[in-house]
Amino acid sequence: MLRIGAAQVDITPKAGIQLAGNVGVHRPAQVVSDPLFSKALVLECNGRKACFITLDLCIATKRYCDDIRKAAAEKFGFDFQGVMVHALQIHSAPSLGHFMLADNFQGIPQEFDWLRGGDERYNQFAVERVIESIRLANETLEPIQVGVGNGIEGRMAFNRRAVKRDGTVMMPWFWDPRKRPLGFTEILYLEGPMDPGLGVMCFRTDTMHFPAMIVNYTCHPVVVYGKDDHGRVVSADWPGA
């Protein structure tokens, strides 16, 4: 018999925490548009357990993913390899760990530590909250039925290879709507591969309650980041919505 438990815990950063998703830019969080969460799904069958964790973050480095796996193994009986940590690559959120420079890279003045990509003030807080989401999910295991479906949605995502009217190629980027009210009018068309597949796995109890779903759609969540002139708004972007 398959059982699952699901939970989410708030991991929204405090003001001043460096937001990831840009290179060499100081982006201390100033405004929270919507909260960030650690979402944990625990599956158990015949005593074996697995855990899927989705983080409303830009990046989660191996160091902290391993810390989470180790804690899940020691505290809740998971196999180390039975815990998957997935960051949504949201550019209006922090990273978990440094991703621009190695942890042991020397010579960065304290006031420029944000150049490393992460923020030491955030990491331990986030890890503790992630572990709490695993604990809550692990404590709510209940029998479920599984349903799987898929579809095609090709109107939302696109490849960012833009062919211009003069035959050259560019990547669409930010623009000032006051200067370009119609956007990039020099773009003739967008081309290149993209994945229009939409996959859904639903978990349903005998009482018709849906404690969790797993949804997969390949589309970079940078809507809020693209609208934020200063890059200091915290948001889970369209996956959060």
Q: Which of 191, 206, 229 is the last residue of a domain?
A: 191
Would 25 be classed as within a structural domain? yes
Query: Which two three-digit tokens encode residue 101?
Result: 């420079």
Give the pLDDT of residue 1.
87
Give the pLDDT of residue 226.
74
Containing structural domain, residue 129? 2-143
Would 235 be classed as within a structural domain? no
Give the pLDDT of residue 215.
94
Same domain, 137 and 165: no
Same domain, 31 and 119: yes
Same domain, 172 and 113: no
Give the separation between CA 167 and CA 173, rounded to whole angstroms: 18
Across the chain, where does the E strand assignment appear? 2-10, 31-32, 37-45, 48-55, 83-87, 142-143, 145-152, 161-164, 169-170, 187-191, 197-204, 212-217, 233-234
Same domain, 7 and 112: yes
Reduced to 3 states, what is the DSSP secondary structure of residue 91? coil
Same domain, 179 and 127: no
Give the separation between CA 116 and CA 75, rounded to whole angstroms: 31
Same domain, 115 and 7: yes
Same domain, 179 and 128: no
Same domain, 90 and 137: yes
Nearest to 55 by CA among 70, 43, 44, 39: 39
Same domain, 88 and 20: yes
Same domain, 172 and 111: no
- pTM (2 decimals)? 0.90
Give the pLDDT of residue 79.
95
pLDDT along the chain (241 residues), means of 10: 96 96 90 97 95 97 96 96 96 94 83 89 97 97 95 92 95 80 90 95 92 93 82 94 90
Give the pLDDT of residue 22.
87
Q: Note whether 222 and 91 are within 8 A (CB).
A: yes
**CA terminus-to-terminus distance, the chain:** 33
Provide the number of structural domains found in the chain.
2
Same domain, 31 and 58: yes
Same domain, 129 and 24: yes
Give the separation between CA 206 and CA 142, rounded to whole angstroms: 10
